[in-house]
Amino acid sequence: MAKAVIIDDEAPILELMTKFCRSLGHEISGCQTGTAGIAALRDIKPDFVIVDLLIGDVNGLDIIKLCRTELPSAAVIMVTGHGSVETAVEAMRLGAFDYLTKPFELPDLQRTIEHALGQKTSGTTAAPPAPVPISNSTKIIGQSNAIEKISSLIQRVADNDSPILLEGEFGVGKQLIARAIHESSRRNNAPFKAIQCSALPEDLLESELFGHGNPQSSIFARTRGGTVHLAEIHHLPMRIQAQLNALLEQISTSTPGYNGSFNFRLITSTTHSLEEAIVARKFREDLYYKISVVPVSIPPLRERREDIALIVEHFLREQALRTGGQMKKMERYAEEFLEKYSWPGNISELRNAVERSCALSETNAIKPTDLPSKVTQKVEAPLDPSAVQGGSQKLPIGSSLDDFIRGQEKLFINETLKLNNGSREKTASMLGVSIATLYRKMDLNVERRTTS
């Protein structure tokens, strides 16, 4: 059992980390302000510290500096959001043991703590900890042929350690699949570390990849037998590409075990064609062949619409667990809008739409009016079953085309009004017209004058 101080000004995250660390058998003091955290550090003299980068009253980097001078034996783990990775790298320079980016998985937190305590007691890298439960967030949702092929491929390549290149549009789930590969492999009891190559300035990216003057502080060494995911690798500057190519060359010609401390599985991902980048002289051809031993192409969501309903259900369940409320249901009519939309932002955009719909829905049934307007306005509305008879749409043959179009407009607007429980504002928004246009097309101004 170790003593620890956790400092984070977000109460739910602080409570989650505190309860989890206590479940591991550690003696924890949780603090929601930097001032309280500093007092606890000086009073408890902990074995390890977990500190958020942005606390509010105190900068997390100042906590690291204090620990370095007053508590040099305490291992400090920095917690930060993706937008603050640059400062987290600075934290490593100041002496932090490691950092985690939010949102992180609890198994990753456990592994980092165990490695920190192992290094603290032995002065060397700790032996790999016992396997921890796999998070549900690594589950790949879908029943399409494309997803089944990817799931099958993951099982085949999980343990062969060949470098994998994930290719696909923004938001298709490359990070999820990278983690799923890690969790399916024999390396799943070691850390999974990811870094966005586009998130850091060149000098800090170089330090993070290859060490702050010390190779043991590089992300590859800190992975300690786990998996490194380099996302958006097409953003890697040519100079750093050369360094990465040299490192991989050294590893490939070394003895089994990746030359001692450099024991990791490499997964890279990109939203751009690296072959086109090679032609444009923006990516090294020799590096490309080293990282793409197993290329995996992830299709966009619009090419596997049969997966959307399952993914939506997963997000609804996830949202209920996060908020502690009852799981909401997506009405079939609303679900049809989701299945017809093109989703340029892929799964990331779908997740955002589901969360927004859950927040706006006044009942446990999510209707089309609760969906983002860009979804309902850019999708041709599903055909109203009442307009279909005998397997074909009923058409008023013999009337003029103008009369037919006006009639269909009124029918469609009336059905949309019913869907919106008579709300003209919501109906106008869903149809993408102004209130004045809605009144004009339905003669609602006459009705309004009559009823006033």
CA distance 315 to 326: 13
CA distance 295 to 283: 16
Question: Which pLDDT does position 190 carry in this prediction?
Answer: 86
pLDDT at 452 over 80: no
Residue 132 burial class via C-beta count within 10 angstroms: exposed 0-12, middle 13-18, buried 19 and up: middle
Q: How far apart are the first and last CA of the chain?
A: 75
Out of 124-133, 276-285, 334-343, 381-390, the most confident range is: 276-285
Question: Which pLDDT does position 130 carry in this prediction?
Answer: 39
Q: Name the CATH topology of 136-299.
A: Rossmann fold (3.40.50)
Q: Right CATH number for 302-382 from 1.10.20.10, 3.30.465.10, 1.10.8.60, 3.40.50.1820?
A: 1.10.8.60
pLDDT at 44 over 90: yes
CA distance 245 to 266: 12
* Residues making up the chain, counted from first to last: 452
Nearest Cα residue to 88 out of 74, 75, 101: 101
CA distance 426 to 429: 5
Question: Which pLDDT does position 427 carry in this prediction?
Answer: 87
Q: Name the CATH topology of 398-452.
A: Arc Repressor Mutant, subunit A (1.10.10)
Is domain 1-133 classified as CATH 1.10.540.10?
no
Question: Which pLDDT does position 136 carry in this prediction?
Answer: 40
> Which residue is listed with tokens 């001692």?
260
pLDDT at 242 over 90: yes
Q: pLDDT tier at 83 (50, 70, 90 boundaries)?
A: low
Q: pLDDT tier at 287 (50, 70, 90 boundaries)?
A: very high
CA distance 433 to 438: 7
Number of Cα atoms under 13 Å in the Cβ half of residue 45 = 5
Hey, where are the domains in the chain? Answer: 1-133, 136-299, 302-382, 398-452
Q: Which residue has the higher pLDDT, 336 or 123?
A: 336
Question: Which pLDDT does position 99 carry in this prediction?
Answer: 85
Q: What's the mean pLDDT in 64-78?
A: 91
CA distance 225 to 398: 76
Question: Which pLDDT does position 191 carry in this prediction?
Answer: 87
Give pLDDT tens digits for 379-431. Answer: 665 554 444 444 445 555 545 677 667 767 877 888 888 888 888 888 888 88
Question: Which pLDDT does position 82 carry in this prediction?
Answer: 56
Q: Which residue has the higher pLDDT, 207 or 89?
A: 207
Number of Cα atoms under 13 Å in the Cβ half of residue 274 = 27
Question: Which pLDDT does position 420 carry in this prediction?
Answer: 82
pLDDT at 245 over 90: yes
Give pLDDT tens digits for 360-373. Answer: 888 999 988 888 88
Q: Which residue has the higher pLDDT, 396 or 34?
A: 34
Q: What percent of the chain is modeled with pLDDT above 70?
A: 84
Q: pLDDT tier at 124 (50, 70, 90 boundaries)?
A: very low
Q: pLDDT tier at 123 (50, 70, 90 boundaries)?
A: very low
Give pLDDT tens digits for 212-227. Answer: 767 777 889 888 889 9
Question: Which pLDDT does position 448 carry in this prediction?
Answer: 44
Same fold, 136-299 and 398-452: no
pLDDT at 8 over 70: yes
Give pLDDT tens digits for 134-178. Answer: 334 457 888 899 999 999 998 899 888 899 999 999 999 999 999
Q: What is the pTM of this model?
A: 0.67
Question: Which pLDDT does position 347 carry in this prediction?
Answer: 94
Question: Which pLDDT does position 25 carry in this prediction?
Answer: 92
Q: pLDDT tier at 200 (50, 70, 90 boundaries)?
A: confident
